[in-house]
Amino acid sequence: MATFFGEVVVAPSRAGVDDEEEGREETPEDREIRRELEKKREIDILWTLKPGASAESSAEELLLCSKFIVAIGRNAAAFVSSFILDSVCWEVVGVVKLWNEWCRTSSTTNVLPTDSFCLFYRLISDPTVLLCQCSCYVAEDQQFQWLEKVFGCMQKEGLQVTILSTCPVADYKTQESTLTLPSPFLKALKTKEFKEQVCCPLLEQPNIVRDLPAA
């Protein structure tokens, strides 16, 4: 049970688990297949090298980051492309390589923003401001790994994270008729650590955020 509105909770589930399957002993072939799948589903982050830096030093060095903006989903990624990235103020500094049922990516960093990719940008005038444009699908079993690897590259002290995501108006729970609501509209959730003024009304209960934005 959540202790405050906005807390991420995971409900236990036995959906799809059969007693017979649960008790069946795993064969060496099953283990090999599972290992291969797990290896294939591993997430890799490829950062562009800083001038004069070696691959080893850039991999170990934490990125200085004061603000990190993450746009998750095609609508949020398109909004960022149109209103933030449509200038020469940003440069691509990294990319996420991942594989799952709905996403296939290659290991190249020379990709276009229209590709099904997670791209990282850096503000040229302030290199401590980073932006992630994630238009590809991140599976449930990959979300923690995505967070661990992305935030594992950054210094956490003084870091402000802003998540942009969208959901259908039909999923919005309200006593009003959704037909009378302006579309699109903006709502926010914030942590207790965020002390600045929120730019839009807070999301009301019992609405929730799902998937990678919730993680």
Confidence tier at 55 by pLDDT (50, 70, 90): very low
Q: Is residue 19 included in any domain, yes or no?
A: no
Please tell me the total number of residues recorded for the chain in this structure.
215
Kindly compute the dihedral angle of the four CA atoms of residues 121, 211, 186, 150, in this order, to the nearest 10 degrees. -20
Range of the domain at 160: 41-48+62-164
Low-confidence winner among 14-23, 122-131, 172-181 (lowest mean pLDDT): 14-23
Q: How many distinct structural domains can be found in the chain?
A: 1
Q: Mean pLDDT over residues 75-104, rounded?
A: 85
| Residue matched to tokens 């080893």 | 56
Q: Is residue 118 included in any domain, yes or no?
A: yes
- Structure token pair of residue 93: 């500094």
Q: Is residue 174 included in any domain, yes or no?
A: no
- Contact residues for 127 (Cβ-Cβ < 8 A; gap 6+): 64
Q: Is residue 96 included in any domain, yes or no?
A: yes
Q: Is residue 91 included in any domain, yes or no?
A: yes
How far apart, in whole angstroms, are the C-alpha atoms of residue 132 and residue 130? 7
Q: Is residue 131 included in any domain, yes or no?
A: yes
Q: Is residue 205 included in any domain, yes or no?
A: no
pTM given for the model: 0.73
